Amino acid sequence: MQNLKQNDINYHLHPYTNLSLHREVGPMVIDRGEGIYVYDTEGKRYIEALGGLFCASLGFSERRLADAADRQMRKLPFYHAFGHKSSEPSILLAQKLISLAPVPMSKVFFANSGSEANDTAVKLIWYYNNALGRPNKKKIISRMRAYHGVTIVSASLTGLTNNHRDFDLPIDRILHTDCPHHYRHANPGETEEQFATRCAESLEQLILKEGAETIAAFFAEPVMASGGVIVPPATYMEKIQAVLNRYDILLVADEVICGFGRTGNLFGSETYGMRPDMIVMAKQLSAGYLPISALMVNETIYRGLVSESEKIGTFGHGFTYSGHPVCAAVALETLRIYEEDGILEHVRSVMPHFHERLAELSRHPLVGEARGSGLLAAVELVANKETKEPFPPAEGVAIHAGKCALTYGVITRALGDTFNFCPPLIITHDQIDAMFDASKKALDDTLAWRKSLANR
């Protein structure tokens, strides 16, 4: 097994990893999965409290998905969607997604990841505005701490500094407005509603400063998951939507993490009253079992795409694996499981207990805020609960807490000062207790470690 780890160091370039440190510590190699648990090559079992990467909604051993992949692999292992070609699974999946959309949608474009789908959304917005004879209406607004992917365009939409530094990002025509995090950015005594009003006014000021005739779209996750599980303040989405409507600006809902039951509704847009013109989805679309993403567009946008395609003679965009039949077959089976096994009903049944246990962590001396929506949550660690003073980034306190959690059999992810939870949707009441009990121990150990450092 040591050879396997050394070979990883020798040959594998890892995403989102300290590449220098990896040469010293090597990988944690995951060998197999069962339900909400994964096992490393040493045989140790872990609760996967982040669902892999916010995606393993049905856990790690759903036989129906493996069988769906096997059946399709034997029948038609690959075909493309270029030049009027198609396959049965991609057709059925597109039809099913349109039927599930939280607002009326017209067509589905398939890609392979959330990054690609968001990148496609921007390209289609530019194409659409050219079709309407609006060549200057091309700027896109995202939010600070947003996460929309890592391609050149989607990483530019992402409002996280380390996704821009030394990658020469963001590109032009991408703008960022306020992060709607009440805990961190509200003025003293400002209610959620007042803060939401101020965020909407700030967005409007940005639009007017740039010129409404130059602003094409606003991208928003219902809950800003990778940016720290930022839940929108009360009335935020309705106030933002009013501004967008006033200036004829499209709303793109990034449902890559929130979609398919994560927030207690099928889509996060339903949970927060969003009425998007385009919807991006991935991750839980296939429960993470195979790479697939989708972009839904409404009829108005579709008509613009058709007219421009007619003028040019083709719609010059697509991926080799768009609507891959095996990935589409697995996604279809995933949607069947959600319906037939009552996954959404199960999520709603365990949500109250999940949030009770989350609230208990808010009382820990290290926790400034415990926040979440559905089965998605985070605790933000602070040096001082009264002043909300953060820890110096160099101390890596949240990272240390994540390492402590590993010793108690829980895999999570530290992003900045937050310690995140996004377990498989099939998690039970007792498994929620085990996850939070271990997390409490990890925070206790982190507090003791921090005190020991201060006493040196």
The residue with tokens 């606003």 is 218
pLDDT band for 234, please (50, 70, 90 cuts). very high
Written as one letter, the residue type at 1 is: M
One domain, residues 407 and 448: yes
d(CA 154, CA 157) in angstroms, rounded, equals 5
One domain, residues 329 and 349: no
One domain, residues 147 and 286: yes
Q: Which of 323, 289, 308, 305 has the alpha carbon at shortest distance from 116?
A: 323
Among residues 319, 340, 361, the one where a domain terminates is 340
Q: What is the model's pLDDT at position 452?
A: 85
At residue 379, φ and ψ (nearest 5 deg) are -115, 135
| pLDDT exceeds 80 at position 289 | yes
Q: What is the model's pLDDT at position 415?
A: 82
Among residues 340, 356, 378, the one where a domain terminates is 340
Q: Any idea which of 38-52, 185-199, 254-268, 441-455 has the lowest mean pLDDT?
A: 441-455
Q: What is the model's pLDDT at position 454?
A: 72
The stretch 347-358 carries a mean pLDDT of 98
**CATH code assigned at 307:** 3.40.640.10
User: Is there a contact between 306 and 129 (Cβ–Cβ < 8 Å)?
Assistant: no
Q: How distant is the alpha carbon of residue 280 from its chain centre?
A: 10
**CATH code assigned at 19:** 3.90.1150.10
First to last CA, the chain: 38
Q: Which of 30, 28, 48 has the alpha carbon at shortest distance from 39?
A: 30
User: Is there a contact between 424 and 59 (Cβ–Cβ < 8 Å)?
Assistant: yes
- Residue-wise pLDDT for 95-138, tens only, equals 999 999 999 999 999 999 999 999 999 999 999 999 999 999 99
Q: What is the model's pLDDT at position 416?
A: 83
One domain, residues 183 and 270: yes
d(CA 13, CA 178) in angstroms, rounded, equals 34
One domain, residues 203 and 347: no
Among residues 310, 340, 370, the one where a domain terminates is 340
DSSP symbol at 223: S
One domain, residues 114 and 49: no
User: Is there a contact between 196 and 234 (Cβ–Cβ < 8 Å)?
Assistant: yes
The residue with tokens 């609960």 is 385
The stretch 60-79 carries a mean pLDDT of 98
Q: Any idea which of 139-143, 308-312, 423-427 has the lowest mean pLDDT?
A: 308-312
- Per the structure, the count of domains in the chain is 2
Handedness of CA 67, 70, 74, 75 (dihedral sign): positive
| pLDDT exceeds 70 at position 456 | no
One domain, residues 245 and 323: yes
One domain, residues 336 and 350: no
One domain, residues 200 and 55: no
Q: What is the model's pLDDT at position 394?
A: 85
Q: What is the model's pLDDT at position 451?
A: 86
What share of the chain in percent tops pLDDT 70?
A: 99
One domain, residues 444 and 415: yes
User: Is there a contact between 154 and 171 (Cβ–Cβ < 8 Å)?
Assistant: no
Instruction: Give the largest CA-CA distance in the chain.
Output: 72
d(CA 15, CA 359) in angstroms, rounded, equals 32
Task: Centre a 10 Å sphere on the Cβ of residue 27 and count the other Cβ atoms it contains.
Answer: 17
One domain, residues 393 and 296: no
Q: What is the mean pLDDT of the chain?
A: 96
Q: Which of 49, 67, 135, 100 has the alpha carbon at shortest distance from 344?
A: 100
| pLDDT exceeds 90 at position 1 | no
| pLDDT exceeds 70 at position 168 | yes
Beta bridge partners of 297: 107, 278
- Cα atoms in the Cβ-side hemisphere of radius 13 Å centred on 257: 28
Q: Which residue range(s) make up the domain with 412? A: 2-61+342-454
Q: What is the pTM of this model?
A: 0.96
d(CA 235, CA 312) in angstroms, rounded, equals 43
Q: Give the strand pairing for 174-177 and 139-143.
A: parallel
One domain, residues 34 and 171: no
